[in-house]
Amino acid sequence: MIYFPRLLDKIRRHLAGQLPDDYGPNLGAGFDKRCCDFWRVHYEDVVARVAAGSTDAEVLAWCREHGRPLDDHDLFVWNEFLRKCGWQDDYSERLRTRLESMGLTGREDIRTLFDLIEVDEGRVPGGTGAIGE
């Protein structure tokens, strides 16, 4: 399930005081909220599991137990939805704004918010590596 590990990494870094300041306002919102809503679990409950020291696998198991059951089709739909956010949809303006604020307006390889996350986390050249180090 794409994004789920990033959600947990952001929570851990925030709890440790290591999350970049500009990430703070969106904690529990945006894709964080969409991911939790997809599972039908509360963000605050996921934070509590992470704060208690649960591993990624343990939090995932908790979501499976306390959220809705997800099958392979559900995960396919989630992954494809997230991969395309920002490409000719309601997220397009958000993507343009983020590209401008990061000085990346000339990057034609960044067509979706998922692409932007890959760049920002350093998995694609030209990013900060702030979370994905």
Map 27-59 to HEC letters: CCCHHHHHHHHHHCCCHHHHHHHHHCCCCHHHH
Are residues 124 and 93 part of one domain?
yes
The pLDDT tens digits for 16-71 are 999 988 888 889 999 999 999 999 999 999 999 999 999 999 999 999 999 999 99
Q: What is the pLDDT at residue 70? A: 95
Q: What is the pLDDT at residue 41? A: 98
| Displacement of CA 91 from its chain's centroid (Å) | 14
Two tokens at 31? 């894709």
pLDDT band at residue 124 using 50, 70 and 90 as cut-offs: confident
**For residues 45 and 65, is the Cβ–Cβ distance under 8 A?**
no
pLDDT band at residue 122 using 50, 70 and 90 as cut-offs: confident
Q: What is the pLDDT at residue 115? A: 92
Mean pLDDT of 99-113: 90
Are residues 2 and 61 part of one domain?
yes
Compute the distance between CA of residue 40 and CA of residue 66 in angstroms, rounded to an integer. Answer: 8
- Collect all residues with Cβ–Cβ distance below 8 Å to 53 and sequence separation of at least 6: none
**pLDDT higher than threshold 70 for residue 127:** no
* Domain total in the chain: 2
Backbone angles phi, psi at 2, to 5 degrees: -65, 150
Are residues 49 and 109 part of one domain?
no
Helix (H, G, I), strand (E, B), or coil: what is residue 110? Answer: coil
Compute the distance between CA of residue 116 and CA of residue 64 in angstroms, rounded to an integer. Answer: 28
Instruction: Flag whether 37 is in a domain.
Output: yes
Nearest to 50 by CA among 37, 38, 32: 32
Are residues 111 and 63 part of one domain?
no
- Collect all residues with Cβ–Cβ distance below 8 Å to 60 and sequence separation of at least 6: 1, 4
pLDDT band at residue 132 using 50, 70 and 90 as cut-offs: very low
Instruction: Flag whether 77 is in a domain.
Output: no
Domain range enclosing 51: 1-69
Two tokens at 59? 């939090």
